[in-house]
Amino acid sequence: MADAFREEWGRITAALIHQTGDWDLAEECAQDAFTQALRRWPRDGVPNRPGAWLMTVARNGAIDRLRRGSTYRAKVEELAVMAARETGTGDPEPGADDSGVPDERLRLIFTCCHPALGMEARVALTLRTLTGLSTAEIARAFLVPEATMAKRLVRAKQKIANARIPYRVPQASALPERVPGVLAVLYLVFNEGYSASTGDDLIRRDLCDLAVALTQVLAELLPAEPEAKGLLALMLFHRARQAARVNDRGDLVTLEDQDRTRWDRAQIGIARRYLEEALAGQRPGQYQVQAAIAGCHAAAPTARATDWARIARLYQHLADMTGSPVVELNRAVAVAMADGPAAGLALLQRLEASGALAGYYLLPATRADFLRRLGRNSAAASAYEEALALVGTGPERRFLHARLAEVGEGGLALLSNVTVDSPQPTLAGAVKPGLAPSVGEDSTVSPVRNFQIWAPVRALSAYKWLSSAPK
């Protein structure tokens, strides 16, 4: 059932939204279909085509509900046409391929990313409809209360209805202007998978794989868009380390302690190729810089060999481009690794004074690590306790408890740095992940409050920072 949900939720909701134009109806019918599967499959057995079974049940549910509406006849006819196409008995949809978008889920993403919607609404709505993430999970990713996110989702759906925004993919010539929003969505989906916001599992591989698959489609669709390749490279660098990020008990393994022989070197090689292709376009962007940072970590044969000075420079370039406090948090960690914890703590104190990351657990967790390394165990313990009050996942909580125990026992430092393996806070980071960048580590950085990461990018020559990227 879990596999079916991961594989089919996005397809079912996208198809029903396409045919009915009712976002709430689509979600409710998809949910009902999975509820019926939970009840019937254990008794009757899993059907040969689980996806088709779920789609049929969801569609029938939509027809039943539409009977009570005035648009019943037209909508039911549309649903019947959709069913005929799926079984091969109907004609292809006129103009279905005009946009060049080969995946129904990408059609949904492009629709959610309509310019009439605000950036935060676009991302939140797509995550809800495409991945089935709960409102609570999305709220945590954005660092806002669940009630706030629920209202945001309702307003987004209302705007689509009131403005009569069509469920339609733009022509190929119009796709580039929608790309930034689509890349943001894919990035945040990956971050939620790479460092889950809640639960006992740190990694949700289904979301990581979904994000990678859709980004590959987008990169093929827009071969001249370097940021699409940069994002794909970033995802692959991080996914290559998945097997080493947790131990057999599901506990978090810091980047320094990971068994690097378990890293997928073939995937790292593919990531490096995509990054090189992106950089060749000489149009640097945030995803390319983040991929270059991840590439630095992947290139280091040992943790001690990591070029933290280069990583710190790349974070500075990224901070110049985005103005994101999450990026500044990662830069503070990189500076601490290159120049010592006192230097990192000075940067962190300025960031804390701004209040930009209030309530984000990686902020006190990072402060705690700097204080631990400086031998200030009492202050470090207080900071670890502050982080524990904010952390969301079991593996990260156990990691912080272990660190707290260390400083409580006299500050035995078993590890030399706080870096953990997670992309960046997320919805990415500060817009979410979690120990995500473990901060510092290899963050895949992400936007923070109000998606400041998408602020206008200042002019920056590709060669200004390319010399800092891994060779």
Segment (H or E) for 379: helix 377-388
Residue 425: what pLDDT? 36
Residue 97: what pLDDT? 41
* Spatial distance between the Cα atoms of 330 and 312, rounded to a whole number of angstroms: 8
Q: Is 255 helix (H, G, I), strand (E, B) or coil?
A: coil
Are 188 and 141 in contact, with CB atoms under 8 Å apart?
yes
Of 162, 193, 274, give the one whose Cα is nearest residue 226: 274
Q: Where do the structural domains in the chain lie, given as residue ranges?
A: 2-175, 176-455
pLDDT in tens, the chain (471 residues): 667 776 788 788 888 887 777 878 888 898 889 889 988 898 888 888 888 899 889 988 888 888 776 555 555 555 555 555 444 444 434 334 444 555 677 777 777 878 788 877 887 887 788 777 788 878 876 768 899 999 999 998 888 878 777 666 667 777 777 788 889 888 887 887 787 555 555 577 777 887 898 898 788 878 889 999 999 999 999 999 988 888 888 777 888 889 999 999 999 999 999 999 999 989 999 999 999 999 999 999 998 999 999 999 999 999 999 899 999 999 999 999 999 999 999 999 999 999 999 989 999 999 999 999 999 999 999 999 999 999 877 778 888 998 999 898 644 333 333 343 444 433 333 333 322 333 334 332 232 222 222 222 222 222 233 333 333
* Spatial distance between the Cα atoms of 139 and 153, rounded to a whole number of angstroms: 10
* Spatial distance between the Cα atoms of 245 and 253, rounded to a whole number of angstroms: 5
pTM to 2 decimal places: 0.67
Of 383, 467, 470, give the one whose Cα is nearest residue 418: 383
Amino acid at 466: L
Residue 48: what pLDDT? 86
* Spatial distance between the Cα atoms of 280 and 320, rounded to a whole number of angstroms: 21
CATH class for the region spanning 176-455 = mainly alpha
Q: Is 199 helix (H, G, I), strand (E, B) or coil?
A: strand
Structure tokens at 227: 């940021």
Residue 95: what pLDDT? 39
Q: Which residues contact 13 (CB under 8 A, 6 or more apart)?
A: 26, 27, 30, 108, 129, 130, 132
Using only C-alpha atoms, what is the Rg of the chain? 23
Of 450, 444, 454, give the one whose Cα is nearest residue 192: 444
Segment (H or E) for 408: helix 394-408
Preceding peptide of 42 cis, ω within 30°: no
Please, what is the angle between helix 286-299 and helix 226-239, to 10°? 30
CA quadruple 343, 384, 397, 314: dihedral, nearest 10: -10
